[in-house]
Structure 1
Amino acid sequence: MPYDSAATRARLLDAAYQEFSRWGLAGARVERIAAAASANKQAIYAYFGSKDSLFDAVLADRISVLADTVPYTPEDLPGYAGALFDALNAAPDLLRLTRWRGLERDDVAPGEVESHLEKAVALRAALGLPDDRTAIDVLEIVVAISSAWTTVPAGLRAVGGEDPAERQAAHRAMVVAAVTAICQSVTRFPVNSA
């Protein structure tokens, strides 16, 4: 069977995603990643250069998958928030991975600022916001609201003893309603961030 470098790289990314989301950057072991990918440890360094670079590649890959799954729709921010809520709840490992990154590193990934600014500029135009700062604030709040279900303690989600699926559906509806209210508020009463 011929060697397939693309397949090896993909297996390494998948194995690293599982390892990093479970253990973080500091706790992850390249030996476990290589074993899970049916590759050798040297392949990690050949493809990615370092464990840190592999972590960055995994995060970039998974954010790209999320962006493909949930296209950014600034003209329908409540719909975007609901779709983001669904996608993040379907991929809890991605949220863990991003939390690990925030805990372990304070640098900014290449292209990250530009990507967020592009989204803010599009949101500013879609909602008629007064400036980019307001658009960035709205975007930050939408992302936080959309990911809150998976970040609050399980005991808080269980208050009331409702069926977990019904409780999650009700929370999703609240996310969409909250983002709708935010959009109405900022377009009706624009905030000057100066």
Structure 2
Amino acid sequence: MNAVMNRDAEATRRRLLRAATDEFAAYGIAGARVDRIAAAAQSNKAQIYHYFGSKDGLFDAVFDAMCRETVDEVPIDAADLPGYAARLFDSYEARPWVQRLATWYRLERAGTGVMLTVVLESNGMKIEAVAAAQRAGILPDRFSAEELLGLVLHLSGFWSANIPEFEASLGPADVARRREVVREAVAALIAG
């Protein structure tokens, strides 16, 4: 009986996270509605507050899950930063909500003092991997490890962060070409 209840509870929690991902990606934290999330998850508002404490807590859980999934799917390879950036690009193409959630996070959570452990740990691990590659002479040290990682991360998300007017000037998206631009840009960045 207890195993069935735990399985049902976990299934409810997963449905809420899936529905919340869609809602937050579309509307941000302020615009998201717990009623819509609950309805899309075939649950109720009380369950949201039970599992996550608040709408902000639910957003943090969504963002945490998204970050963990990205770290697991696209581990850093400091010896191949161009390939790492291209794989991040692929991940963003497959999961377009990632960049939308990151944008909402920057807009609505900056300055609140909220720092998600998964993001801090992931950034720390990536910075150390880049720094180790710099110490080993694999990567140039003209930029600090933090700066180099930041540039790589931003280049990997370059295409998904453009405004519609810039997208219109580019014409139809050639995903393979865009991926290659990311890879080549990072290769040029680290080419001594």
TM bucket (normalised to shorter chain) is 0.7 to 0.9
Match of 1:13 among 3, 10, 17: 17
- Give the Cα separation in 1 of the matches to 2:19 and 2:120: 27
- Give the Cα separation in 1 of the matches to 2:91 and 2:122: 19
Match of 1:103 among 103, 107, 118: 107
Which one-letter code corresponds to 1:148 in the other structure? F
Which position in structure 2 is the counterpart of 1:192?
none
Match of 1:66 among 51, 67, 70: 70
Shift of 1:112: 2.6
Residues 75, 127 of structure 1: 8 Å contact kept: no
CA RMSD of aligned residues (A): 2.0
Shift of 1:111: 4.2
Residues 13, 51 of structure 2: 8 Å contact kept: yes
Which position in structure 2 is the counterpart of 1:52?
56
Shift of 1:130: 8.3
Unaligned runs of 5+ in 1: 186-194
Residues 85, 156 of structure 2: 8 Å contact kept: yes
Which one-letter code corresponds to 1:139 in the other structure? L
- Give the Cα separation in 2 of the matches to 1:33 and 1:43: 11
Residues 140, 190 of structure 2: 8 Å contact kept: no
Match of 1:164 among 173, 178, 188: 173
Match of 2:180 among 164, 168, 173: 173
Decide which moves more: 54-63 or 102-111: 102-111
Scaled by the length of structure 2, the TM-score of the pair is 0.86
Which position in structure 2 is the counterpart of 1:125?
132
Cα deviation, 1:141-184, whole Å, max 9, x if unaligned, reads 001111010111233234364x422xx32222121111112222
Residues 67, 119 of structure 2: 8 Å contact kept: no
Which one-letter code corresponds to 2:188 in the other structure? A
- Give the Cα separation in 1 of the matches to 2:68 and 2:179: 23
- Give the Cα separation in 1 of the matches to 2:140 and 2:91: 30
Identity %: 44
The list of structure 1 runs, each at least 4 consecutive aligned residues, that deviate by more than 4 angstroms after superposition, is none
Residues 77, 180 of structure 1: 8 Å contact kept: yes
Which position in structure 2 is the counterpart of 1:189?
none
